[in-house]
Structure 1
Amino acid sequence: MHFDVVHAADPRFYGGSSSAVRIEIQSARQFGLSTALLPFLGVSDIRSRRFEERLLDVLERQEVPWLTGEEPVECDILFAHNPLAFAHMPTRPLRVRSKVVLLSVQHPPFDGAGNAQYDIDVVKRNLERMFGAPVIFAPVGPKVRNQFEDIIAGRPELLRHDLFNLIDLDEWPIRTAQPPRERAVIGRHSRRDLLKWPDTEAELRAAYPDLGNVQIKVMGGVPDQIVPLIGSNWNISPYSNSGVPQFLNKLDFYVFFHSRRWVEAFGIGIAEAMASGLVTILDPSFRDLFEEGAVYCRPEETTGVVERFLSSPEAFSAQSAAARTLVEKKFSKSRYPERMRAIYDELGLCSPAALATIGKAVGADAFSGSSGHATVRSGPRRSQRSLMGRRRVLFVATNGIGLGHITRLMAIAERMSPDMEPVFLTMSAGSSIIEARGHPVDYIPSAPKIGVTDDSWNEVFAQELLAAVEAFAINSVVFDSNHPFPGLLKVLAARPDLNWVWIRRGMWASRHGLDPSMQHRFDMVIEPGEFAADEDHGITAQLRAGVIGVSPILLVDSDDRLSRAEAALALGVDPAGLVAVVQLGSERNFDVSRLRPAIIDGLLKHGVQVVDAVNPLAPKREDHMGGTVQKAIYPIARYFNAVDLMITNAGYNSFHECIYGGMPAIFVPNEAPEMDEQAVRAAYAQSSGLGLCLRSVDAERAHEAIELALSEGFLAQHRTRASRIVFANGAREAALAIEELAFSVRTDRGLGGSIARV
């Protein structure tokens, strides 16, 4: 398999690095060069991130091949993006061979104080040995080039010209407002890094003045240290990739000053502002790069510069046009063919035939940039990855009170791409449910089940888990439980070569603790979304840094439901009548013996057909009430079209199935001490008009709650409110996050911490 260009990059980087990769890939496709992405995970402190959403969108829409490094691939040029991604060697050899490696230096070798940011020689050797080709360093701007040229001994070979980041001008509509005259809107967008801001309070206040005729707009937030210093005229909004063009279009001036300890390698945010026609005010150190496209001054001179342009609309218009013109001349995507031809010539390589027709796009409409609207993550099509890159993932579910752990894991497993092969290992008595859905599963009884001590059980479990990992050639382990137990942690420590993922739901009770360092043992922690997240005050709510949050995870999508007639037939009820399902969980740790008959009696008195759902984990009941249908049902959401009212516990799955399934429900929280905050979920649903809360101690209120739940007033309000809920299943998001981990080359730690120790 041969490509003209392969891009090796960490797709989780934000800002200039991801933007450069995205535009390079778009440009290659647009101008007829064959290209592919070889994703690396090269920096450990950004493990909480997914692939950058606009880059992922381009990979999907343009069907860019996603290499794993296991396919035999040859290319003319391998572009390695950002030296930070190549500080270590991977644990496996890469079968990608290139004639030359061009390292796009998107991070300077030294900071503003002269401290080394990475070892130049190590990065160079790593790339040479990974790809078996000479490495040439390509600075992305004059600041980076100047640092390399100051190196006396050991300076790497540099590309003769800077490899600027490119801009797709179609993504950046030029401002259409009239030049400002009396009032100015000053703004900037960047991450919340303190180094991205001026060093002193005086410089900050001078650069972003608190004046009556000036408004300051910031996208991306500000560091906590700066919050006490901001003026009354500041407006701060969170960062949004899809919202940047709209944000910039509301500004007049773009002002960017940063710490003297920071060196901006390029400044993609600056280039975006200039492409939008903003009058851009910068530190003089940017002059060599942005030339006449920007205005240069010190922070204390900012107000004078702004006032000068407010007093001269003609000068404002001229500078706005100069900014756009500069970007078009130096950084426009239209320069890609000319630049690539120059690179091929400099490297002594034969140019691809497509570069002979410089400036002529191939199917330009098909490969146009993102429109600026919000993107929807979907992930790679099967054809994007090689058949050689199949991955087996082991889903490990603990023994919960209910079926929550295995249900979430099956939801994720069943939404993975075909080149992922799920295998299950569980301590749950619900293993037969996993098998019934077609998944390979091994069952290990829990310690209480077989009457052994926790210590001895953990020793045996570790052996069983290790045997499963080796027998199935597992690539990744996905664990769903509240607490990782010693047997699992023992194998995790012995097999750091695997990808370890923890699915950790929220809504922990305040009495439940967790070692904050536990999540750092895993390569990825995913938290399923909670409808009642605003009322989550447990320990996990304080530990979301380094955690990937996804939408609520459900097993059944609306398209998977049976019709009312089919579902009613399966439930044994008349589809023409009202149907209620009573599903109060396994009842293994919470007594609802008084509440259950009160609920069923109230439903029967209202002429409702009652399905008394039998939980697969519950002991066999002998209290079958006449007039009800007793059924073992899983998953109940598949039958929702034949159900008019659910009476259920408020565990994660049951609760969210009802909320996002538009199902009227009476929630009966399981309030056993070891459980999550089900009472909070139930109360939140009631306050939101999307359910009722009936606690186990309120058996005498059962009839009243049922009467209200069946009333037209409640049902009408429920329909209205439920129709406004927008739902995207987080199971697919979680599956894609795991695939991004499983199919990337890991260079985020040294080999000593990455190889198996058994």
Structure 2
Amino acid sequence: MQTLEHFQPSQMIMRPDNILFVSSNGIGLGHLARQMAVADRIAKGQRSVFLTMSYAAATLKQAGYLCLMTSHHRNNGMEVDAWNLALEQEYLVTIEELRPKALIYDATAVFGGVAEMLYRVPDLTSIWIRRPMWRPIHAPFLEHSSRFTLVIEPGELADELDDGPTKAVQSETMRVQPILHTDPCDRLTREAARQALGLPLDATVVCVQMFNGGEYDLGSVRAAVIERLLARDNVYVIEFHSALVPAARATDSPRHLTMNLFPTFRYSNAWDAAVSAAGYNSFHENVIGAVPTLFVPNEGDEMDMQKTRARWALEKGCGLMMCRDDAGQLNGILERLLDNAERESIARRCQAIDWTNGAIAVARHIDALPSVA
């Protein structure tokens, strides 16, 4: 763990208004992006400090946040019990130094070291931001809910189809609307975004976001999608790869662009359509942002129920869906995605969704918490 002493003394002046954001790792940026959505909207005069296991921590530093990093036992070779004890001590030292008025935890797993730390500092206001759509395998983590002062559930557009273990305890949470890091109205215009990305104004652009990390490999589908798209005249493919996993191999086509850029949603007016997994952030950005999207769910056991989200989008006419094992239908589905009338119909239904950013409600709740004396 990078300790607080690595920062300049002027940065670490004791303040009663520190907010400590704690998150786990993952193959995407979901946990960090939700926390940044809240931190960006907290009232001035408070300071957000991040303690994360994510290798995308550089994203936080680029945004101007103080960031501390620790590692998961899978990445440092420690035995699980020893790692949890070390994790507990690292968190306790950080809390003693920062004296935060609140700890904001965003993860599915509540590690033993986290649960024990919360037990040892019962007066600390702790908030678990716990997105829904859990698989049954994650249900045991719900036993730790009582360790937190409050559990906040970010809204889920596909809530009506959610039959995961968090559904039964939904009434015990503070529920807010879906959380997005970037509001759709804050995106660059089509012209400005295309100019920034080096894309021609008269081309059809499709954004492909299917990371190869995790146990569920979407690499073959990704390759087939890109091959079929580039076989069409005047179609450009742009890919953004995660900071957490190696970039997928690019083709030799000048119409295939790859880059690492955050937040990608800020540039989403640049593309006409998208092919994407159905993780919480990418799903809600594309639907609420009215980006016509073919959702290809990552159905790995470690993931949330992405197939349920994709099915909701298909049923509501807010997107298209194709599972990895249905790749034989790819040509027909891409025909629909590239059809102007189909895209306009999808965008129109998405634009009809009533939404305000749940990050605002979470930030206002944190603002109202008492400062530490």
Q: TM-score, normalised by structure 1?
A: 0.46
> In structure 2, what residue type is equivalent to 1:552?
P
Residue 466 (structure 1) aligns with: 92
Q: Return the offset for 1:481.
A: 0.7
SS at match of 2:325: coil
> In structure 2, what residue type is equivalent to 1:508?
W
The answer to whether residue 118 in structure 2 is matched with residue 500 in structure 1 is no
Q: Return the offset for 1:625.
A: 4.6
Q: State percent identity of aligned pairs.
A: 35
Alignment of 1:489-568 (within 5 A): 489-514=115-140, 516-568=142-194
Report Cα offsets for 1:141-183 as digits up to 9, x if no partner: xxxxxxxxxxxxxxxxxxxxxxxxxxxxxxxxxxxxxxxxxxx
The change in CA–CA distance for 1:586 and 1:736 in structure 2 (over 3 A counts) is farther
Residue 624 (structure 1) aligns with: 251
1:598/1:703 contact within 8 Å kept: no
Q: Return the offset for 1:515.
A: 5.2
The answer to whether residue 339 in structure 2 is matched with residue 711 in structure 1 is yes
Q: Return the offset for 1:501.
A: 0.6
CA distance in 1 between partners of 2:142 and 2:198 (Å):
49
The answer to whether residue 298 in structure 2 is matched with residue 666 in structure 1 is no
> In structure 2, what residue type is equivalent to 1:719?
A
The change in CA–CA distance for 1:742 and 1:706 in structure 2 (over 3 A counts) is farther
Residue 6 (structure 2) aligns with: none
> In structure 2, what residue type is equivalent to 1:467?
V
CA distance in 1 between partners of 2:95 and 2:371 (Å):
18
SS at match of 2:140: coil
RMSD of aligned Cα (Å): 1.9
Aligned match for 1:428, one of 54, 58, 70: 54
CA distance in 2 between partners of 1:411 and 1:725 (Å):
20
CA distance in 2 between partners of 1:680 and 1:529 (Å):
15
Q: Return the offset for 1:743.
A: 5.0
Q: Name the structure with the higher helix share.
A: 2
1:598/1:700 contact within 8 Å kept: no
Q: Return the offset for 1:693.
A: 0.7
- Which stretch has the larger CA shift, 479-488 or 620-629? 620-629
Report Cα offsets for 1:85-116 as digits up to 9, x if no partner: xxxxxxxxxxxxxxxxxxxxxxxxxxxxxxxx
Report Cα offsets for 1:220-248 as digits up to 9, x if no partner: xxxxxxxxxxxxxxxxxxxxxxxxxxxxx
SS at match of 1:663: coil
2:110/2:141 contact within 8 Å kept: no
Residue 351 (structure 2) aligns with: 723
CA distance in 1 between partners of 2:357 and 2:179 (Å):
6
Residue 404 (structure 1) aligns with: 30
> In structure 2, what residue type is equivalent to 1:411?
A
Aligned match for 2:285, one of 657, 663, 673: 657
Q: Return the offset for 1:614.
A: 1.7
Aligned match for 2:362, one of 734, 741, 744: 734
Q: Return the offset for 1:390.
A: 5.2
Aligned match for 2:271, one of 643, 661, 673: 643
Q: Return the offset for 1:619.
A: 1.9
The answer to whether residue 238 in structure 2 is matched with residue 611 in structure 1 is yes
CA distance in 2 between partners of 1:614 and 1:593 (Å):
13
> In structure 2, what residue type is equivalent to 1:454?
V
Report Cα offsets for 1:103-136 as digits up to 9, x if no partner: xxxxxxxxxxxxxxxxxxxxxxxxxxxxxxxxxx
CA distance in 2 between partners of 1:574 and 1:423 (Å):
40
Q: TM-score, normalised by structure 2?
A: 0.91
Q: Return the offset for 1:423.
A: 0.2
The answer to whether residue 217 in structure 2 is matched with residue 587 in structure 1 is no
CA distance in 2 between partners of 1:728 and 1:479 (Å):
22
CA distance in 2 between partners of 1:635 and 1:416 (Å):
19
The change in CA–CA distance for 1:588 and 1:625 in structure 2 (over 3 A counts) is farther
> In structure 1, what residue type is equivalent to 2:132?
G
Q: Return the offset for 1:585.
A: 2.6
Q: Return the offset for 1:538.
A: 0.7
The answer to whether residue 116 in structure 2 is matched with residue 454 in structure 1 is no
The change in CA–CA distance for 1:413 and 1:677 in structure 2 (over 3 A counts) is same
The change in CA–CA distance for 1:724 and 1:621 in structure 2 (over 3 A counts) is closer
Q: Return the offset for 1:744.
A: 9.7
SS at match of 1:544: helix
Can you give the 5+ residue segments of structure 1 that lack an aligned partner in the other structure?
1-387, 746-758
> In structure 2, what residue type is equivalent to 1:575?
L
Q: Return the offset for 1:682.
A: 0.5
CA distance in 2 between partners of 1:590 and 1:568 (Å):
32
Q: Return the offset for 1:516.
A: 4.5
Alignment of 1:44-55 (within 5 A): none
The change in CA–CA distance for 1:744 and 1:467 in structure 2 (over 3 A counts) is closer
2:100/2:372 contact within 8 Å kept: no
CA distance in 2 between partners of 1:703 and 1:419 (Å):
54
> In structure 2, what residue type is equivalent to 1:717?
S
Residue 679 (structure 1) aligns with: 307
> In structure 2, what residue type is equivalent to 1:485?
F
SS at match of 1:419: coil
> In structure 1, what residue type is equivalent to 2:39?
A
The change in CA–CA distance for 1:743 and 1:470 in structure 2 (over 3 A counts) is closer
CA distance in 2 between partners of 1:625 and 1:427 (Å):
35
SS at match of 1:410: helix
> In structure 2, what residue type is equivalent to 1:412?
V
SS at match of 2:64: coil
Residue 107 (structure 1) aligns with: none
The change in CA–CA distance for 1:711 and 1:667 in structure 2 (over 3 A counts) is same
The change in CA–CA distance for 1:490 and 1:511 in structure 2 (over 3 A counts) is closer
Alignment of 1:273-422 (within 5 A): 391-422=17-48
Residue 216 (structure 1) aligns with: none
Residue 693 (structure 1) aligns with: 321
1:391/1:475 contact within 8 Å kept: yes
Alignment of 1:75-474 (within 5 A): 391-474=17-100
Residue 5 (structure 2) aligns with: none
CA distance in 2 between partners of 1:495 and 1:556 (Å):
34
The change in CA–CA distance for 1:516 and 1:396 in structure 2 (over 3 A counts) is closer
The change in CA–CA distance for 1:621 and 1:716 in structure 2 (over 3 A counts) is closer
1:389/1:419 contact within 8 Å kept: no
The change in CA–CA distance for 1:561 and 1:623 in structure 2 (over 3 A counts) is closer
> In structure 2, what residue type is equivalent to 1:584?
M
CA distance in 2 between partners of 1:677 and 1:463 (Å):
33
Residue 8 (structure 2) aligns with: none
Report Cα offsets for 1:174-205 as digits up to 9, x if no partner: xxxxxxxxxxxxxxxxxxxxxxxxxxxxxxxx
Q: Return the offset for 1:703.
A: 1.9
2:103/2:126 contact within 8 Å kept: yes
Matched pairs, number = 358
Structure with more relative contact order (C-alpha pairs < 8 Å, separation 6 or more):
2
1:525/1:548 contact within 8 Å kept: yes
Report Cα offsets for 1:665-712 as digits up to 9, x if no partner: 011100001211100100110111111111112222222211101113
Can you give the 5+ residue segments of structure 2 that lack an aligned partner in the other structure?
1-13
Q: Return the offset for 1:713.
A: 3.0
CA distance in 2 between partners of 1:586 and 1:465 (Å):
31
